[in-house]
Structure 1
Amino acid sequence: MRPARRFLSGEGFPLAAILLVVFFFCGFPLLLLFKIGLSGEDGLSLALFGEALASRSVLRALWHSFESSFLAAGFATLIGLGLALTIGLTDVRAKGPLVFLILLPMMIPPHVTAISWIQALGPASPVLQWLGLAPEPGSTHPIYSREGIVALLTIQHSPLVFLIQRAALRSFPRELSDAARVSGAGGWRLLTRIVVPLLAPSLLSGFALAFVAALGNFGINALLGIPARYTTLPVLMWRRLASFGPDVLPNVAVIAIILALVTLAALAVQFHFQRRMRLALVGLPQAPLAIRLGRWRGASEAGIWLFVAATLLLPLVSLLATALVPTYGLPLSWATVTLDNFAEVIFYQSVTARAFLNSTLTAGTAALAIAVLSIGLGYYLITGRGLVRKAASATATQVEITFAIPGLVISIAFILAFIRPLPLVDFSLYGTIWIILIAYVSAFFAVGLKPVAAAYTQLDVSLDDAARVSGAGLMRRMRKVFAPLVAPAAASGAILVFLTAYNEITVSALLWSTGSETIGTVIFNYEDGGYTTLAAAMAAITVAATVLLMFGLNLLAPRLQPGVIPWRD
């Protein structure tokens, strides 16, 4: 059957439906954003774009965004590489718990990370007060600075680099290490001459992803940058829209376009250098190497556990301690400890239950929708030919571009697209929970698609041909053959989508309204409004819920198929 005829046949309709859904969620809002930002009264115009680039505040925010993101990505790459090499190549013990704890900061929302570190290092820090190391009352908070922002962005995104490098090491060809050892190469020579050079493409990928993630980060940049007068582009957009309302949408759209162009330029540079490197680790997942550290093993393990304690335990203990006192700044003791803040946010603040319900429903529904769409789109990516494959590839490209663009840009695009009532139904999504839901699908589609697409590439295309010869239609082939085979990957992607969307604030910061609050927006509003102890209590509950969910999934791992839990082998 010719490609065009196949596309128009019954089996092409599901792909057409997926294409329309993805365009509605991903392509249309971004196209409208660029249209409004680059248009004037007489059509295409760069007047607003030129005004933005001539503005000192925009240029300063652009430089701050690039500077902090570049530095944080560089440090995150170094830390992530060091952790991946130590855990992935050596004989350090307790690798499972270490991997879980190292990845945990990535699952904690950035604004919660910022709040916990603000409370951990300030003059009112209960931990530093116990140790007698707290700064003098009234002194400048040490984390309200460019260095503080870079440090927290590094902590937030180094687990991402670690995850990428660890996955690359799992595909490391063992024959190379065996040959090097037979030739007499020691651990250091093996590391510097073989391992690190082969990791170069994944290192570049990790750096680029950390850079893009830091570039679009809102929670850390807002809570630390505003007091430090270190404004980045996401914070500038939020402040202008929050101060002046929808009337400034065209001006904010131009800033969003600038941020999107910087992101796409960074990814283009990454792609260019990766093509020139022409290096890749190829192989099936294998048992990790176990280079013997000898007398250095104890020191290496102590260093990793100290890193985990410094980046995870200190801020979380400070967060909990702040939640247990009546007033922020009051030392924690048996006389001051109280559960009133937890009681307030759980029993007396109706917004708390509403936020947890909204976040659970939107994150869960988005994760399920993305899993289903990914299974369908992945099928066409691997089995499609000609026009079908081109259409599927174009759809996947839209998904990748949307994921790469910062969440606040997605928010602006969705406001522009859905602030007016929808045609025919005369219903406006703006100001409802539905706009947050479809924004989650748009922003996190690529998170669910990547593992499913990778699973499809491991399948033999002849499975589809054999099922066709047997007379199985599309739905029967999907239900009996392909969906069961890629279900673990789809479940893994759905778990990552849920954990990412459940606590996020970057996408929902500009989309929420009364009645559609999410966990992230409630915590941010508490802190921004000066209710620090309530923010700490809400954040502590959120962290506990995230940890319990991840721990519960770990307990279920033996009963699940391999690959369902993203952070387990």
Structure 2
Amino acid sequence: MMLKRLLGGEGITLAALIVIAAALFVLPLALLAGVAIGEGPVAFLSALNSRSVPRAVWNSFESSALSAFVALVGGSAAALILGLADVRMKGLFTFLLLIPMMVPPHVTAIAWVQALGPSSALLQTLGIAPEIGSTHPLYSREGVIFLLGIQHAPLVFLVVLAALRSLPREMSDAARVAGAKPVRLLFRIILPLLAPTLIAGYALAFVSALGNFGIPALLGIPARYTTLPVLIWQRLASFGPTVLTDMAVIASLVAVIAVAAVVFQMWFASRQRNALIGPPQPPLDIRLGRIRPLVETGLALVILATLVLPITALFATALVPTYGVPLTFDTVTFANFAEILFRQSVTARAFINSTIVAIVAAVTIAILAIFVARYAAAQNRAVRRVGTLMTALAEMTYAIPGLVISVAFILAFIRPLPLIDVSIYNTLTIILLAYLCAFFSIALKPITAATLQLDRSLDEAARVAGAGFYRRMARITIPLIAPAAASGAILVFLTAYNEVTVSALLWSSGNETIGTTIFNYEDGGYTTLASAMAAVTIIATILLMALLDWAGRRAPPGVVPWRL
């Protein structure tokens, strides 16, 4: 019976998935490791002996560790307030707090640079701009750490908020009956139960900051605070004879740090795990009483400072003719928006390219993830191990920074494909494949969780009735996990639509993405054009999130990720 299954549709699909996983996850990273190791220890020693690499290693570790702590404190505090207290307008606050996560990091950097610099159109209009010629406060080590923390706090917020809504309430209710005040309840019951989640949130913020390219590039380069992703980009731009070897060695260092961080997080979280009894229940509803208006005002001020201020400054810069000119009724102009929307063909091309690649990546990953999750939950031990291995590979590639993935795909596809002699280098196809590798785990997580909750008797009953593998998948498995698949696809689309880290090394003329176009405008000194395109991108992102949020009210629970 098992042999018949493996020789049928189930086995063919499994074999196809193994080939796809090998091509996406194993081959590029194996080639990367091969180039780095193939040069022998001399290449590593040479890299480590150069001044830039050890300094970049330390800067990457330092900025990631400290910014992850900032993200942990900020994201956890917001999640605890919205998840446990009787704050009004929770849905609106949650939506607004998650917007920075969907805004590209380099757009975030540009917005904050426009908000606080001496040439800020907004601050000049208000008459509070720093003196012209003074050093920008964000062009520093502290600026990189601060902005990385702001960028990744929503990640921690989402993880902790989800965990709060799945915790049993028995211990908390017992503590409240015994007279425990909210502060004591928080530190003696809730935070210890959340320890594995907090560790996971910190690790997620750490790995995300380690691979972040946009913020360290725009803020760190002027401050001579170079991280490993920025160093890889600089080495590629140098076009030296050993550029691929240098990139492979540096990228391998980043990959080792990222994987080591994830492994340490898993080990440490396992030691902090607490066994819970009882099903998830509605979260606590702690009454804030008289301080509720103060807490709500505090949340509003946080949103004002981290979202409204930089976006307003970004729009102000986009509406002036030249960077450094104050925004007044006499200087306001829409020429920058007209330039990027109607005169620069690269803008329309970038939006079309990003939309197409993000949609194809989201749909493809969602479909493949459904089958991977199906095999990872299979009853047969051998099949389940194969599915689990593919899941582990997806998790590992997500932990590896996007710029490292880019280097690996350059090494894998810089030559024409064998047999068909077709080159995908310098095309949208290589960007799409890199997206499939880098973002696969984003959709796989919710789909795997939904698949593990399915009753196996449904599939067994259909098999007994004579339904084949594909019929069972189409009539039973896929309809039941469709909300989770839709949620994963939405997350992949929003992540891929505005990203710059993966495509920074893979784009070429005619194959620009939104992220690379904005970055190139800013890097080339066209600040007002970069601000205008970033403003258009933010508007598009917010409108898309609002549309999805509206549709989520009519969709099954779980389709829209932030509507928990």
Q: What does 1:253-292 correspond to in 2, within 5 Å?
A: 253-279=248-274, 286-292=281-287
CA distance in 2, matches of 1:35, 1:303: 52
Q: What does 1:15-34 correspond to in 2, within 5 Å?
A: 15-34=14-33
What is the Cα deviation at residue 46 of structure 1? 1.9
Contact 1:126/1:331 (8 A) holds in 2:
yes
User: Residues 119-163 of structure 1, C-alpha deviation per residue, up to 9 Å, x if partnerless?
Assistant: 000011122223332110011111000000011000000000010
What is the Cα deviation at residue 332 of structure 1? 0.3
CA distance in 1, matches of 2:49, 2:213: 24
Q: Which residue of structure 1 lines up, in the alignment, with residue 208 of structure 2?
A: 213
Contact 1:109/1:503 (8 A) holds in 2:
yes
CA distance in 2, matches of 1:459, 1:326: 58
Q: What does 1:335-346 correspond to in 2, within 5 Å?
A: 335-346=330-341
What is the Cα deviation at residue 285 of structure 1? 5.1
Answering whether residue 447 of structure 2 is matched by residue 448 of structure 1, we say: no
Contact 2:236/2:247 (8 A) holds in 1:
yes
User: Structure 2 residue aligned with 1:329, among 324, 327, 332?
Assistant: 324
- DSSP-derived class of the 1:562 partner: coil
User: Structure 1 residue aligned with 2:453, among 453, 458, 469?
Assistant: 458
- Cα gap change, 1:210 to 1:164, in 2 (>3 Å): same
User: Structure 2 residue aligned with 1:309, among 299, 304, 309?
Assistant: 304
Contact 1:173/1:282 (8 A) holds in 2:
yes
Contact 1:80/1:160 (8 A) holds in 2:
yes
CA distance in 1, matches of 2:165, 2:9: 41
Q: Which residue of structure 2 lines up, in the alignment, with residue 141 of structure 1?
A: 136
- DSSP-derived class of the 2:328 partner: coil
Contact 1:7/1:387 (8 A) holds in 2:
no
Query: Aligned partner of 1:208: which letter?
Result: A
Q: Which residue of structure 1 lines up, in the alignment, with residue 406 of structure 2?
A: 411
Contact 1:114/1:224 (8 A) holds in 2:
yes
Give the superposed CA RMSD. Answer: 1.3
User: Structure 2 residue aligned with 1:200, among 187, 195, 199?
Assistant: 195
CA distance in 2, matches of 1:142, 1:186: 41
Contact 2:121/2:323 (8 A) holds in 1:
no
Answering whether residue 83 of structure 2 is matched by residue 97 of structure 1, we say: no
- Cα gap change, 1:558 to 1:256, in 2 (>3 Å): same
CA distance in 1, matches of 2:123, 2:281: 44
User: Structure 1 residue aligned with 2:429, among 434, 442, 467?
Assistant: 434
Q: Which residue of structure 2 lines up, in the alignment, with residue 68 of structure 1?
A: 63
Q: What does 1:469-508 correspond to in 2, within 5 Å?
A: 469-508=464-503
What is the Cα deviation at residue 83 of structure 1? 0.6
Query: Aligned partner of 1:155: which letter?
Result: I
What is the Cα deviation at residue 434 of structure 1? 0.4
CA distance in 1, matches of 2:467, 2:425: 43
What is the Cα deviation at residue 448 of structure 1? 0.7
Query: Aligned partner of 1:423: which letter?
Result: P
What is the Cα deviation at residue 101 of structure 1? 0.5
User: Residues 482-539 of structure 1, C-alpha deviation per residue, up to 9 Å, x if partnerless?
Assistant: 0000000000000000000000000000000001000000000000000000000000
Higher deviation after alignment, 322-331 or 10-19? 10-19
Q: Which residue of structure 2 lines up, in the alignment, with residue 225 of structure 1?
A: 220
CA distance in 1, matches of 2:273, 2:299: 33
Deviant stretches of 4+, over 4 Å: 280-285
Contact 2:498/2:514 (8 A) holds in 1:
yes
CA distance in 2, matches of 1:177, 1:126: 50
Answering whether residue 358 of structure 2 is matched by residue 358 of structure 1, we say: no
Q: Which residue of structure 1 lines up, in the alignment, with residue 175 of structure 2?
A: 180
Contact 1:345/1:538 (8 A) holds in 2:
yes
User: Residues 195-240 of structure 1, C-alpha deviation per residue, up to 9 Å, x if partnerless?
Assistant: 0010100000000000000000000000001001000000000001
What is the Cα deviation at residue 458 of structure 1? 1.1
- Cα gap change, 1:442 to 1:245, in 2 (>3 Å): farther
CA distance in 2, matches of 1:283, 1:457: 18
Q: Which residue of structure 1 lines up, in the alignment, with residue 105 of structure 2?
A: 110
Q: Which residue of structure 2 lines up, in the alignment, with residue 513 of structure 1?
A: 508
CA distance in 2, matches of 1:141, 1:10: 61
Answering whether residue 113 of structure 2 is matched by residue 121 of structure 1, we say: no
User: Residues 249-295 of structure 1, C-alpha deviation per residue, up to 9 Å, x if partnerless?
Assistant: 01110000000000111111111111212226676554332101111
What is the Cα deviation at residue 242 of structure 1? 1.1
Contact 2:107/2:534 (8 A) holds in 1:
yes
Contact 2:86/2:286 (8 A) holds in 1:
yes
Query: Aligned partner of 2:518: which letter?
Result: I
Query: Aligned partner of 1:535: which letter?
Result: A
Q: Which residue of structure 1 lines up, in the alignment, with residue 82 of structure 2?
A: 87
Query: Aligned partner of 2:95: which letter?
Result: F
CA distance in 1, matches of 2:6, 2:65: 44
Contact 2:9/2:470 (8 A) holds in 1:
no
Query: Aligned partner of 1:539: which letter?
Result: A
User: Residues 301-360 of structure 1, C-alpha deviation per residue, up to 9 Å, x if partnerless?
Assistant: 111110010000000000000000110110001101111000000000000010000000
What is the Cα deviation at residue 465 of structure 1? 1.0
What is the Cα deviation at residue 461 of structure 1? 1.5
Aligned length: 564
Q: Which residue of structure 1 lines up, in the alignment, with residue 385 of structure 2?
A: 390
Q: Which residue of structure 1 lines up, in the alignment, with residue 559 of structure 2?
A: 564
Contact 2:121/2:320 (8 A) holds in 1:
no
Contact 1:172/1:282 (8 A) holds in 2:
no
Contact 1:557/1:565 (8 A) holds in 2:
yes
What is the Cα deviation at residue 245 of structure 1? 5.8
Higher deviation after alignment, 520-529 or 287-296? 287-296
- DSSP-derived class of the 1:38 partner: helix
Contact 2:409/2:430 (8 A) holds in 1:
yes
Query: Aligned partner of 1:188: which letter?
Result: V
- DSSP-derived class of the 2:377 partner: helix
CA distance in 2, matches of 1:203, 1:441: 28
What is the Cα deviation at residue 188 of structure 1? 1.3
CA distance in 2, matches of 1:561, 1:63: 46
CA distance in 2, matches of 1:64, 1:277: 29
Contact 2:111/2:313 (8 A) holds in 1:
yes
CA distance in 1, matches of 2:401, 2:454: 33
TM-score by length of 1: 0.97
What is the Cα deviation at residue 8 of structure 1? 4.2
CA distance in 2, matches of 1:312, 1:390: 44
What is the Cα deviation at residue 13 of structure 1? 1.1
User: Structure 1 residue aligned with 2:417, among 422, 442, 451?
Assistant: 422
- Cα gap change, 1:256 to 1:281, in 2 (>3 Å): farther
Contact 2:122/2:317 (8 A) holds in 1:
no
What is the Cα deviation at residue 383 of structure 1? 2.1
